Amino acid sequence: MLFALSIGMVGLSHGQGWVVPKPSFGLMPNAAAGKQLFAKHCAACHGADLKGSDKGPPLLHKIYEPAHHADAAFQLAAANGVRAHHWKFGDMAPVKGVTPDDVAHITAYVRMEQRKIGIQ
């Protein structure tokens, strides 16, 4: 199912003229590196504890489980921004200065924290 969602996401992104950014070939995403990158690039809006803030939604929420927002969604969000659709925080702007490798590390950190609270 996750594969089908990922393929659907890629198909949707191509339909909108977007290409899903891809991390370097062979990269092994590192959650520890992702935690530091999250603190630098994401925590101001998504909260240092991933529980959200007055500027952005929590990533420790069922909406962001892998079956609903595949890892490719994080790559697309960082590269292109996101139109508000689940929350009333407004649109998310692209994240300047973050690479696809950085996003892969950040995603590894987010997924690890999600699994700790039962989000699979």
CATH number, domain containing residue 99:
1.10.760.10
Q: Are 21 and 100 in contact (CB under 8 A)?
A: yes
Contact 100, 23 (CB under 8 A): yes
| pTM (whole model) above 0.95 | no
Domain of residue 79 covers 2-116
Report which DSSP code applies to 89. S
| Per-residue model confidence (pLDDT) at position 18 | 75
Residue tagged 């952005």 (tokens): 56
pLDDT at 14: 47
Number of domains in the chain: 1
Residue 23 carries which DSSP code? P
4-57 pLDDT, tens digit each: 334 344 444 444 677 999 999 999 999 999 999 999 999 999 999 999 999 999
Distance between CA atoms of 66 and 71, rounded to whole angstroms?
Answer: 7
Tell me how far apart the alpha carbons of residues 13 and 6 are, in angstroms, rounded to a whole number: 10
* Digit-coded pLDDT (tens) for 99-114: 999 999 999 999 999 9
Q: How many CB atoms lie within 10 A of CB 10?
A: 16
Q: What is the mean pLDDT of residues 65-81?
A: 96
What residues contact 109, with CB distance under 8 A and at least 6 apart? 31, 32, 33, 34, 35, 37, 38
